Structure 1
């Protein structure tokens, strides 16, 4: 998804893309800047009192993303970044000049400032600054103090630019006096946000171009007699570019929406934007070149121009490490609802929660509020957020039916009235527990090759076969089972979806001991088990379609939950080991973990808002599943690295947490299978 979610923002993105596609290619710099300012793209985010259009950072981000996709040249990004910093300080002569079309740049690092009776004296040579060579106004930071000045030609040191579409220069000042009125009074947090948003948004746009370019190429490039986009390795790399784009987009969007949040929230969102978005553009560009092959490494192809811009952009805000995220001990506010939303619903939920009874929660529709009535409340994303807040306010965990989270939606969609009556409310009340009898020794990720067979008999079916890797079957009352009912039909047909009573004759459950020493998985043997007709869900031979409903719910659930390698575990380790508490690498590891979790949480919020906006996400839920699995793998690995000698102790819960990691790497479809889904169903690459 692009940064734009609402209809208004999608219209703005379409307008920006249309304008950039017409004017950016082959643009002459002076005429292009005149056309850009005439259209007002440079002043979208500036207050009306200064001559701007009165929008904000989110609207600027929408435009900057599209301008990044079309490699809009010249001073646009340096100028809007400088004016965004200046806008935080309030009305000024410089802000009015920016709104009128003055070019600008931000100068960071390398300068020293000393306060004098007349103002400030600045000395030194700055780091290279994007757009400085053509900037009429420079917004300068020297030792955490911000200044606005108009650089003179003799103060500029030319630098050969990596980005072929923008100028770069250093600012050299010797005992340069800046009057007091040229000091910009802006908090460091707000300034960091103003710096981060345009850059992160452009990074998202660069990722978007890299994705489109790579996918278009691998769809049409033929090798070995078929499009290279049909090769799994190519599909996985293309899917990887999409993951980079999603990280960058989520971080840029969240930073832009933080404009009206507290300073602490702004600082966290800005740090995440720098850590997640800017490197993503470099990684996406490199992956694009690799998929293009040698042609992408030539001067004639545009790929290197985007790659060069991504590299120049990645360091344009100064050096940054994940430690900055690890040092910020504040959670990001990603609530969907405001305190004033749904007051009647809040009162209704409060009256039930204050009694805190599981059966009462189910009967009131609060065990699964998104379910249709009478099982839930038909709650949409906003109502679900309000209900979740009321649970959190009282410290009450929201109910979960575990495997039932994936089973019940299938019954609600495809089940008979009798099946819904017998199973939905009893499960929500906690009276029934479920397992999923899908995988077999020869049919794991390739589920369509399953061999369990169901034969029609009087009044029902006889099922025989072996299921494996069945989570919680030793505790379950019922299982949803896929079995082949027509052995002559194509692989994805002739499969039916049954409800199996695990207390029935012929069912044997044998726990499988895992690497952790625990036995949460099982193998289940079905030996001529009788299943009555009433427990066949849907029509015979239609089970594959039903199974995709179950699996889709499983992926969404797992994609939004971190079971392993969480930042909370790393924080606990830092609390338990004082020697680690101030260790820079430990704080950097924590910061990387926080960043991964912020990406997932932001994607979850964007998904909810996209649904509110009526957007169809389809197979894109697999994106969150993959990012979740990778986040848990990376976080768990870093946790083990921090343990040191403690990793040799089987008594350490952190080690057991790591050893349980494969459950999320395999469950609901392996990471590799999910990458196939992304490549084929989201990107449209050939099978």
Structure 2
């Protein structure tokens, strides 16, 4: 597909990214990403360490905290090219979520303690936001922190906690004041997963994997030094965090990567001249270009210091709809080839993992605030309804 970023400077930067990925990415990891297979902790961490070695692991961080100083355009190019080269996407809980929140709201001690370890990969973070009774309506959370001398006792549970099986730290939204309006009594706390009272139980998904988990917090002590910013300001911090998360959920690089993979499937199935298949591919390409242009505008606005608001909800909705539509088209093209052959139990290339990816990506329109919630945000904040 045609790239929006075509200046000579952009081309030189793209070549630098492409050459690095070709040289540094482990071939086995590349092959897994190319065929849409589930990735291991070692796959993610190996690529993380390669990026860290050249200072590229946190593209959006300020240079004083270890970022590479890339522009919004360069970050977009790098994201797209890494996907094109079949690099694993970096789990964002440390690099894209709690890291930026600590940079913006954390204490100097928290920044000095945690930011270098996020960059180096020594700490793997997971996100403790959703609860059994508080998913997209996070303000209804019931995990409670009770004040004691020197800190807090936290009790409650979190669910849908992605990659918690790999994590050694979790950042949690907890209720620190039950007497005020629900959004005003919430704080963000940093919890060592090895703390007594923290336990984990995997959740088996319909794709057969266990990448999400339940987290249980039973009278867990959290010292005052691990409360982010001011007590009871967690909702404000979380909104800022979710704006950044939704900006990335647009997933232009990932969508372009999958679009090319689906085109390859169409050729393999003899459907590259089929009118319906070509029409669906063309419509999805147009949608990706539109999301790319919108993402670039919002990245530039964020770089200029303008706070992001409801616009990120639009990216979240359209980006995830496009990605799900691509998996649906892939499944339609593959047909019965997406299922294991009865005699061998093997999947037929290039259609292996098509069913897995289709099932796994049903989550895209749910996490980060469901698309229904995003539409409500747009209706209220943009249309005034």
Q: 1:621 aligns with which of 312, 322, 332?
A: 312
Aligned to 1:672: 372
Structure 2 vs 1, CA of residues 592 and 426 (structure 1 numbering), >3 Å: closer, same or farther?
same
Q: 1:399-478, aligned counterparts within 5 Å? A: 400-404=90-94, 405-478=96-169
Aligned to 2:8: 339
Structure 2 vs 1, CA of residues 559 and 384 (structure 1 numbering), >3 Å: closer, same or farther?
closer
Would you say the 8 A contact 2:17–2:82 is kept in 1? no
Q: Say which SS state the counterpart of residue 523 (structure 1) adopts.
A: strand
CA deviations over 1:66-92 (Å, ceiling 9, x no partner): xxxxxxxxxxxxxxxxxxxxxxxxxxx
Q: Say which SS state the counterpart of residue 661 (structure 1) adopts.
A: helix
Q: Say which SS state the counterpart of residue 463 (structure 1) adopts.
A: strand
Would you say the 8 A contact 1:462–1:530 is kept in 2? yes
CA deviations over 1:105-157 (Å, ceiling 9, x no partner): xxxxxxxxxxxxxxxxxxxxxxxxxxxxxxxxxxxxxxxxxxxxxxxxxxxxx
Q: 2:57 aligns with which of 364, 367, 381?
A: 367
Structure 2 vs 1, CA of residues 398 and 425 (structure 1 numbering), >3 Å: closer, same or farther?
farther
Q: 1:132-147, aligned counterparts within 5 Å? A: none
Q: 1:592 aligns with which of 283, 298, 301?
A: 283
Structure 2 vs 1, CA of residues 490 and 674 (structure 1 numbering), >3 Å: closer, same or farther?
same
Q: 1:115-130, aligned counterparts within 5 Å? A: none
**Alignment partners' CA distance in 1, 2:292 and 2:77:** 17
- TM-score, length of structure 1 as denominator length: 0.46
Q: 1:624-643, aligned counterparts within 5 Å? A: 624-643=315-334
Aligned to 2:235: 544
Q: Say which SS state the counterpart of residue 618 (structure 1) adopts.
A: coil
Aligned to 2:268: 576
- Residue 429 of structure 1: how far off its partner (Å): 1.5
Q: 1:660 aligns with which of 360, 366, 371?
A: 360
Q: Say which SS state the counterpart of residue 174 (structure 2) adopts.
A: strand
Q: Say which SS state the counterpart of residue 574 (structure 1) adopts.
A: helix
Structure 2 vs 1, CA of residues 420 and 352 (structure 1 numbering), >3 Å: closer, same or farther?
farther
Would you say the 8 A contact 1:401–1:433 is kept in 2? no
- Residue 575 of structure 1: how far off its partner (Å): 3.4
Would you say the 8 A contact 2:252–2:292 is kept in 1? no
Structure 2 vs 1, CA of residues 507 and 683 (structure 1 numbering), >3 Å: closer, same or farther?
same
CA deviations over 1:528-570 (Å, ceiling 9, x no partner): 1111111110111111111112211111111234768932342
**Alignment partners' CA distance in 2, 1:348 and 1:332:** 19
- Residue 475 of structure 1: how far off its partner (Å): 0.9
**Alignment partners' CA distance in 2, 1:657 and 1:440:** 25
Would you say the 8 A contact 1:560–1:604 is kept in 2? no
- Residue 394 of structure 1: how far off its partner (Å): 12
Q: 1:228-267, aligned counterparts within 5 Å? A: none
- Residue 365 of structure 1: how far off its partner (Å): 4.1
CA deviations over 1:259-295 (Å, ceiling 9, x no partner): xxxxxxxxxxxxxxxxxxxxxxxxxxxxxxxxxxxxx
**Alignment partners' CA distance in 2, 1:523 and 1:370:** 30
Structure 2 vs 1, CA of residues 637 and 397 (structure 1 numbering), >3 Å: closer, same or farther?
closer
CA deviations over 1:602-630 (Å, ceiling 9, x no partner): 32233345557776653201111100122
Q: Say which SS state the counterpart of residue 400 (structure 1) adopts.
A: coil
Structure 2 vs 1, CA of residues 533 and 619 (structure 1 numbering), >3 Å: closer, same or farther?
same
Aligned to 2:384: 684
**Alignment partners' CA distance in 1, 2:213 and 2:48:** 28
CA deviations over 1:490-516 (Å, ceiling 9, x no partner): 110111100011111111111100110
Would you say the 8 A contact 1:365–1:374 is kept in 2? no
Q: Say which SS state the counterpart of residue 545 (structure 1) adopts.
A: helix
Q: 1:5-16, aligned counterparts within 5 Å? A: none
Structure 2 vs 1, CA of residues 581 and 673 (structure 1 numbering), >3 Å: closer, same or farther?
same
Would you say the 8 A contact 2:174–2:186 is kept in 1? yes
Aligned to 1:207: none
Structure 2 vs 1, CA of residues 568 and 355 (structure 1 numbering), >3 Å: closer, same or farther?
closer
**Alignment partners' CA distance in 2, 1:613 and 1:629:** 26
- Residue 597 of structure 1: how far off its partner (Å): 2.1
Select the structure with the greater relative contact order (CA < 8 A; seq sep ≥ 6). Answer: 2
Aligned to 1:567: 259
**Alignment partners' CA distance in 2, 1:366 and 1:360:** 9
Q: Does 1:533 align with 2:224?
A: yes
Structure 2 vs 1, CA of residues 332 and 348 (structure 1 numbering), >3 Å: closer, same or farther?
closer
CA deviations over 1:169-188 (Å, ceiling 9, x no partner): xxxxxxxxxxxxxxxxxxxx
Structure 2 vs 1, CA of residues 568 and 585 (structure 1 numbering), >3 Å: closer, same or farther?
same
Q: 1:290-301, aligned counterparts within 5 Å? A: none
- Residue 633 of structure 1: how far off its partner (Å): 2.8
Structure 2 vs 1, CA of residues 441 and 379 (structure 1 numbering), >3 Å: closer, same or farther?
same
- Residue 410 of structure 1: how far off its partner (Å): 0.7
**Alignment partners' CA distance in 1, 2:92 and 2:233:** 25
CA deviations over 1:286-342 (Å, ceiling 9, x no partner): xxxxxxxxxxxxxxxxxxxxxxxxxxxxxxxxxxxxxxxxxxxxx212117x32479
Would you say the 8 A contact 1:461–1:530 is kept in 2? yes
CA deviations over 1:14-43 (Å, ceiling 9, x no partner): xxxxxxxxxxxxxxxxxxxxxxxxxxxxxx
- Residue 467 of structure 1: how far off its partner (Å): 0.6
Q: Aligned Cα RMSD in Å?
A: 3.5
**Alignment partners' CA distance in 1, 2:208 and 2:105:** 38
Would you say the 8 A contact 2:18–2:85 is kept in 1? no
